[in-house]
Homo-oligomer: A and B are copies of this chain.
């Protein structure tokens, strides 16, 4: 590829191109609106728009009638600018390709035992999956992982569910896909779930609580993931919720983690040997069975889910005090059980002096982290539109 047309990402012109492209991410705009949103002189717009159109990233979008003259609209194009989202979970690998507007182009998933496969072979499999869905070179890649991510270094520091430590996911994936390392981002699944919910319009100061084999959390403030100093922000698994509870792996007693991980809830919901504990059902199957039991009035299952709600409510009352989100989204398997969790959580929060955040189950369900990864992958182009070459005339 010719590099001559690729501008310095820090140049004022690139910053203006990026500003225009970002403004269009929420939908079509007139030139007057664009100039105002971007703080760019209207006289500079034609040149910028011609540049972006030459790269295939924007196009005319018809005319909007108004009070005065009808105004010509501009919208994102970018059907050939692909964002690649990848996800590693304990029992599955997934790949999704979207276009610049976030529309799904292709997707594929594979059931594997990631811990048994090990890091290098898992990366091989995931790259193989990616190549099968990608129609061309992606503008950016983001990988969702269930663990603590040092986002500055793009390294997965610790993922107990995968039995990985200090895994250099970005570098490994970039090498396999023939991309520069900076083209691949890595982030925690709950962070990406939070981003997806915020992009979906659920809230702008948002806390995403993720239920699975572990309990995780992600924060978005003003559209941006808050990662903290090392990238570990959002951890809520060790908030004390039950002084008389189980001993936690951290050494304390009654951490949220001990009450809210899926296995613990299933143990509370049914006796040993019950089909609810059958690993062959997979996570989705066991959660569906639990839902069915609660719906049919199984008292033990209903009590287990109610107690989960109370534990989540106690932990969330601290989270709400510290972060003051406008909304808490229940993600992962908590989303499936939302009908029975929201009420006990609300009761706990209502008793707090400050607790007035909305509590909503995720509408994106288990797919939220992958949606967030697609958004993050596209970010790279929105930050520097010159990554896509102008078409030669």
A-to-B contact residues, CB < 8 Å: 10-12, 15, 36, 39-41, 148, 203-205, 217, 221, 226-240, 243, 250-252, 317-319, 321-326, 351-354, 356-357
- Whole-angstrom distance between the Cβ of A45 and the nearest chain B Cβ: 12
Contact A238 B39, beta carbon cutoff 8 Å: no
A322 to B36, CA, bound (A): 37
Contact A322 B321, beta carbon cutoff 8 Å: no
Contact B205 A251, beta carbon cutoff 8 Å: no
* Residue among B40, B221, B231, B243 making CB contact with A226, cutoff 8 Å: B221
Contact B239 A321, beta carbon cutoff 8 Å: yes
A233 to B236, CA, bound (A): 16
Contact B236 A322, beta carbon cutoff 8 Å: yes
Extra contacts besides A11-B39, A228-B324 (14): CB < 8 Å? A148-B354, A205-B228, A205-B229, A221-B228, A228-B323, A229-B326, A230-B356, A232-B354, A235-B324, A235-B354, A236-B321, A238-B317, A238-B318, A238-B353
A318 to B226, CA, bound (A): 16
> Contacts A12-B39, A39-B12; is A325 near B243 (CB within 8 Å)?
no
CB-CB < 8 A to A231: which residues of B? 324
> Contacts A40-B12, A228-B205, A240-B240; is A351 near B321 (CB within 8 Å)?
no
CB-CB < 8 A to A353: which residues of B? 238, 250
- Whole-angstrom distance between the Cβ of A59 and the nearest chain B Cβ: 25
Contact B321 A352, beta carbon cutoff 8 Å: no
A233 to B318, CA, bound (A): 11
A235 to B227, CA, bound (A): 19
A240 to B217, CA, bound (A): 20
CB-CB < 8 A to A217: which residues of B? 322
User: From A318, which residue of chain B is reached at the shortest CB distance?
Assistant: B239
- Whole-angstrom distance between the Cβ of A343 and the nearest chain B Cβ: 19
Contact B233 A324, beta carbon cutoff 8 Å: yes
- Whole-angstrom distance between the Cβ of A219 and the nearest chain B Cβ: 8
Contact B12 A233, beta carbon cutoff 8 Å: no
CB-CB < 8 A to A229: which residues of B? 203-205, 324-326, 357
- Whole-angstrom distance between the Cβ of A209 and the nearest chain B Cβ: 11
A147 to B204, CA, bound (A): 24
Closest 6 CB pairs of A and B: A228-B324, A243-B243, A229-B326, A233-B324, A205-B229, A235-B321
- Whole-angstrom distance between the Cβ of A222 and the nearest chain B Cβ: 9
User: From A251, which residue of chain B is reached at the shortest CB distance?
Assistant: B351
A39 to B204, CA, bound (A): 28
User: From A12, which residue of chain B is reached at the shortest CB distance?
Assistant: B39
A231 to B250, CA, bound (A): 33
Contact B250 A352, beta carbon cutoff 8 Å: yes
